Structure 1
C-alpha cells in the first residue's frame, strides 16, 4: 500500500474569509461592544447587504464562463427607476410593473449576449457601453429628476416585513443564492459554464455549445439584476445614482469569494466575502464615523482578491510533489512478521484552480 505524508494546514488559502470575518467580530466586539455586539447592528448589516449579494450573484454567473457584465450596476438602477415610474406615473398594478421591469432587465442581458456571441465583441467593451447607454436612457425617461416612491402598503411590505426579526429581503436573497448554487454545482448548465470559463476551446471540442451558454449566462445576469432592482426600490426607494456605487462592492465580493472554499467562483464564498467585508466596514464606521470606509474596503478587497488568486495559482503550480512511501511485505514472509520493504515514490499535485476531467469536460450523454 501507499502512505502519503501530509502537513497540517489552517487552510488560509481556502478559509481566509472566515478567519477575517471572525477577526472583525472579535476586534470590534472588544472595541465597541455596546454598539457593535447588538442585534440592531446584525439586522442592519444583514438587510443592507442583501441587495449587493443579489447583484454579486448576477455578476458571478457570466464570470463563471469567463464573461464580464459591467452593466449590472446601470441595469439595477434602471430597474429601480422603471418599476417606480410604472406605478406612480403610468398607474400600473404593482405586479404588472414588476414583471415588465424584470423582463426589461432580462432583455438588456439578452442584447448583451447577442453582441458578445453573434457580433463577436469583447464582453468588457459591450457591457461597459451598455451601462453608458442605460445611463442616458434613465436621464431621458426621468428628465433628470428622481421619481417619488409608491405609497401602497403592499409595495412597502414586499421587502420590509419581518421574519424572525429580519427583513424579508434576507429570505429572498437566501432563496436566490440556493437556486444559483444548485444550478452551478448540480446541473449540466453549471458544469458547462465552468468548462467554458476554464478553456472555451477545449469545451467546444468536447461538444459544449459555447455561444449558447455564454448568451444564457448574460440573460440570467440580467434577470437577477432586474429582481434586485425591484427589491431595492421597495426597500430604500428610487435613486438615479446608486447603481454605480454597488458595482465595485459586488465585483470585489465575487473575486474575493473565488479565493474561498473551492478555489473558483462559487456562491457560498461570495456570500462569505460580502458579509465579512460588510462587518469590517460597519465596525470601522462605528469607530471612525467616516463614510468613505466602504469605498476604501471594496477597492482594497478587489485588488487583494485578484492578487491573492494569482499568487495562489503560481504557488500551486510550483508546489513540489508530495512525498510518499510504498509499503510492501517481503515475498518470503508468508505471515507478514518481517520488516517491510520501503521504496520512495512521488505523487504530483493538480492545481486547485483546475477542475477535474468530470467537471470541466462534460459528458455528451448528459446534454
Structure 2
C-alpha cells in the first residue's frame, strides 16, 4: 500500500510541472503571436491567385525591406519616449524637416557628410525644444509634440513653397539608398546599426534602465533618486536625433526631399512603437518588437497593395494597428504586473 503523503506529493509535483509547461506555452504564444501572424499572412499572399506571382519573389522582398528601413528608424525614435510613458508625435514632421534642410544644403554644394550632421543636428534641436517644454514648462507631451509638428509643417511649407528638392543630390548617396550587396539592401545595414545601438542603450546602460523605471512608476523612480526630468529630456533629444537621421536616409532613398513626406511616417511609426508591447516581450515596449511590428505591417500592406486594394486601406490598417497596439500594451502590462 502506497503512502498517502507520497502520493499527494507526486500529484503536487505533477500539477506544478503541468502548470509550468502551460505557462511556458502561453508566454511563448504571447511573445511570438505577431511573428506567427506575419508568417501566416505571407503564406496566404504567396498562394493567393492575385499575388502568387509577385508577392513571394526576391525582388518584392528587397523592396519591402528597403522601403521599411526609414520607417523602422522613425518607429524606434517614437519608441524611446514611449518607454517612459511619454509620447512624441512629432517624429514624422521632424523627419520631414531634417530631410528638407539636408537636401537644401546638398543642393547648394554642401558635402553629404556635412548634410548628415545638419539633419542629425536639426532633429536633435527639435528634441531639445520638446524636452524643455515637457520637463521644465510642464506641458503634456502629447500636446507639446503635436504643437511642434504643426509648427514644423509651417516651417517646411515656408522653406519649400510646397516644392520638392531634388537637385544636386550626390550620386554616391542615392546609390547607397537604392543599392544592395549580395541582394541585401544597403539601407538595411544602417537600420541594423541603429537597432543594435538602441538595444544596447535600452537594456545595458543605466539610462535605459532609468527610462523603464520611470515608465513603470515615475513617482517610485523619483523616490529612489532618479532624476526623472533629466532622463525624460534626454529621451526626447534622442528621439529627435533618430528622426533626423531617418530624414537623411529618406533623402538617400528617394534622391530628394518632399515637403509632405513626414505626414506619411507619423501614424505607421506610432503604430509600430505601440505594437512592440505585443511582441517578443509582451507588456513591455521593446526594440525587437518594434522591428517585428514594422515588418508585420509592411507584409500586410505589401500583400494588399499587390492584390489591388485601394490606397486608403493602408490608413485603415495603420489606424487599427495603433488602437490594437495601445489596447494590447495595457492588457499585457496588467497581466505582467
TM-score normalised by length of structure 1: 0.82
Counterparts of 1:193-212 in structure 2, within 5 Å, are 193-212=211-230
Partner of 2:237: 219
RMSD of Structure 2 on Structure 1 (CA): 1.6
Q: Which runs of 5+ in 1 are unaligned?
A: 317-351, 355-367
Partner of 2:311, secondary structure, is coil
Alignment partner of 1:82 out of 101, 106, 110: 101
Offset at residue 110 of structure 1 (A): 0.7
CA contact (8 A) 1:162 1:168 kept: yes
Partner of 1:335: none
Asked if 1:126 corresponds to 2:136, the answer is no
CA contact (8 A) 2:72 2:191 kept: yes
Partner of 1:251: 270
Offset at residue 289 of structure 1 (A): 4.1
Partner of 1:17: 34
Q: Deviations over 1:280-334 (max 9, x none)?
A: 11111111342223212111111112222333345x3xxxxxxxxxxxxxxxxxx
**C-alpha separation in 2, matches of 1:211 and 1:158:** 39
Greater strand share, structure number: 1
**C-alpha separation in 2, matches of 1:86 and 1:303:** 39
Partner of 1:26: 43
Offset at residue 167 of structure 1 (A): 2.0
**C-alpha separation in 1, matches of 2:92 and 2:44:** 32
Partner of 2:121: 103
Partner of 1:160: 178
Partner of 1:73: 92
Greater helix share, structure number: 2
How many residues of Structure 1 are paired with residues of Structure 2 in the alignment? 316
Partner of 1:47: 66
Asked if 1:273 corresponds to 2:300, the answer is no
Q: Which runs of 5+ in 2 are unaligned?
A: 1-8
Asked if 1:240 corresponds to 2:259, the answer is yes
TM-score normalised by length of structure 2: 0.89
CA contact (8 A) 2:89 2:270 kept: no
**C-alpha separation in 2, matches of 1:166 and 1:209:** 42
